[in-house]
Amino acid sequence: MNPQTSATLVRGSILHFLADPGENDDADAWQFFEDGALLLEHGRVIRVGAWKEIITALPTLTKQTARTFDYSGKLVMPGLIDTHVHYPQMQVMGSFGRQLLDWLEHYTFPAEATFADRGIAKKTSAFFLDRLLAHGTTTASVFATVHPHSVEAFFEAAQSRNLRMLCGKVMMDRHCPENLRDTPASALHDSRKLIERWHGKGRLRYSVTPRFAPTSTPEQLQVAGELFNGYPDMHLQSHLSENRREIEWVGELFPGHRNYVDVYDHFKLLGRGAIYGHGIHLDASERTRLAETGTAIAFCPSSNLFLGSGFFHYDAAHAAGVPVGLATDVGGGTSLSMLRTMASAYTVGQAQHKPLSAMRAWYLATLGGAQALALDNFIGNFKPGKEADFAVFDFNATPELDWRMRHASSIEEKLFALITLGDERCVSATHILGERVTPA
């Protein structure tokens, strides 16, 4: 960067969301600049708008000395946000599908057991984060394993890349292999040490992470509630109502509770900053309670389809006021690509005769995800003061896309084609705090 200025200019077709566009794609919910500009300083957004307008208003010295990234003809959007993903499952992604509980026994638990080796945790963290960035994903809510060093390895890798990331040590003290089992006391001790070292360090946040109700005793869920409510701006992640057999199991293990959500509510595990993966088989009262407490759901469409878990009812969740983000899940999910995840979300909606529009899908993958993770004060759009994480997408990355774009007449058409025909080949660049972090 030129020492005379700290300014960075980014030119391209710029789109960001100010709110949920809703069923009717409310045009007031987003801003799109065909020939747009981002003005950045010290890794934050100063201004977004039309290129001519912004460049005309700049002082001469700034125009002469600012570093410029010219992505003319390409789409510049806030970095994509994955609201629920298991980084230790990278090694089993693409394994033959089973139902949820069989998947845990045959794939998830054996994969996570290998993370007793610190070297595996370190190598996997680096690979996982580099692949997220290659897909245009700049923030994620990430599950580690029961091993504290799996969190240490992940946060060290994320810090070295200056990323805004969430992660937490999985808590499991029953119904899992002995080599993946902790105790309420060890979970409390290990989690506190990790929180004190990493929560709020740079751009990192800790997430209290009980895997799901069946793998934690009431005593451990009590500990999780103490951790979640015992620190400022704490996050929590777990699983909810993914599979019907799982729901029956929860009823057997926690008699006397009205439903699955009530179990988590009893242990004070609901609230803003808490997000639960899946939420497929919820009833109206459960959605109401999630909305009342500001608790979010991570919609994992490719995983839900792959494991045969069912269709998430996005319209019902939205109508109830439940915050929702999109997620890859992995390895039950089939790709780290949020483009492919958006395509799966459309498919799920279409099967329910409620197809997700392109505008709403991109909202969920950016600002909606930030809101679901309670990070929208920092990321999610290009409002002044936000952190300048963004991805650049090539509308013409493949011959099929290029051909389709020649016949697209609106930004909505282009965005939908990018979802349905695109993948990581469409990601031209990813920037973190304004700095390009993917190869040219």
Question: For 117-139, what is each residue's pLDDT tens digit?
Answer: 999 999 999 999 999 999 999 99
Selected residue with higher pLDDT from 283 and 3: 283
User: Any bridge partners for residue 50, and if so which?
Assistant: 36
Read off the pLDDT of residues 234-245 as tens digits, 9 standing for 90 and up.
999 999 999 999
The set of residues, in sequence order, having a beta carbon less than 8 Å from that of 106 and lying 6+ positions away, is: 98
Query: In whole angstroms, what is the distance from residue 267 CA to residue 250 CA?
Result: 14
Per-residue burial over 255-282, b if 16 or more Cβ lie within 10 Å, else e, is eebebbbbbbbbbbbbebbbbbbbbbbb
pLDDT in tens, 173-201: 999 999 999 999 999 999 999 999 999 99
Residue 20 one-letter amino acid:
D
Average pLDDT over residues 208-217: 98
Bridge partners (DSSP) of residue 44 are 41, 387
**Residue 307, token pair as written in the block:** 């494991």
Read off the pTM: 0.97
Cis peptide before 331 (omega within 30 of 0): yes
**Distance separating alpha carbons of residues 49 and 32, to the nearest angstrom:** 8
CATH code matching the domain that covers 80-372, chosen among 3.20.20.140, 3.40.920.10, 3.40.1440.10, 3.20.20.30: 3.20.20.140
Phi, psi of 104 (to 5 degrees): -60, -45
Residues 90-108 pLDDT 10s:
998 988 867 877 878 888 9
CATH topology of domain 7-79+382-436: Urease, subunit C; domain 1 (2.30.40)
Q: Where in the chain is the domain with CATH 3.20.20.140?
A: 80-372
Using one digit for the tens of pLDDT, what is the confidence trace for 243-261? Answer: 999 999 999 999 999 999 9
Structure tokens, 264: 């988590």
